[in-house]
């Protein structure tokens, strides 16, 4: 259970609108950056929600990783994105890979406003002192 869980809330993203509304484009970027970070994609699912009225529809996408997961949610009407990357450190420390993945995705979305969180997981698994 030891690992690093990173989240980021992005607003006012300056990226091309396609990245927020096209499942193929979003999946391709997530897959490429995950592999470039040295993480292992096991499976994936990207779902585009029905468009409300005339507003563009958002996407939820998940890459299942051998090391854990990447989840991405887009809100095109807000030019917003949430990112969630969790890597376990069972056989190797994957923290730097998770950090690299988030940084690469931030470069693609180009948010003007950003809130990040970092959580070390597995505290209950620490041996008592």
Show the tokens assigned to 45: 């699912």
Q: Which of 2, 69, 73, 108 is catalytic?
A: 73
Q: State yes or no: is 2 an active-site residue.
A: no
Catalytic residue among 5, 13, 15, 68: 68
**Catalytic annotation present for 73:** yes
Q: How many CA atoms lie within 13 A of 78 on its CB side?
A: 12
Residue 25, both tokens: 């484009």
Alpha-carbon span 93 to 22, nearest angstrom: 33
Determine whether 68 is an active site residue: yes
10 neighbors 43 (Cβ within 8 angstroms) = no
Considering 13, 15, 30, 88, which one is annotated as catalytic? Answer: 88
Measured at the alpha carbon of residue 128, what is the angle toward residues 124 and 129, in degrees to the nearest 5? 135
Q: Report, as residue numbers or ranges, the catalytic residues.
A: 68, 73, 88
């Amino acid at each position: 259970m030891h690992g690093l869980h990173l989240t980021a809330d992005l607003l006012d993203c300056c990226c091309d609108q396609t990245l927020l509304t096209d499942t193929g484009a979003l999946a391709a970027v997530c897959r490429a950056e995950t592999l470039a970070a040295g993480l292992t994609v096991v499976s994936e699912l990207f779902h585009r929600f029905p468009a409300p009225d005339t507003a563009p529809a958002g996407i939820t996408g998940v890459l299942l990783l051998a090391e854990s997961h990447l989840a991405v949610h887009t809100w095109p009407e807000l030019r917003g994105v949430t990112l969630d990357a969790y890597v376990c450190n069972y056989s190797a420390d994957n923290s730097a890979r998770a950090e690299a993945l988030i940084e690469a995705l931030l470069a693609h979305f180009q948010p003007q406003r950003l809130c990040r969180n970092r959580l070390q997981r597995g505290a209950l698994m620490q041996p008592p002192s």
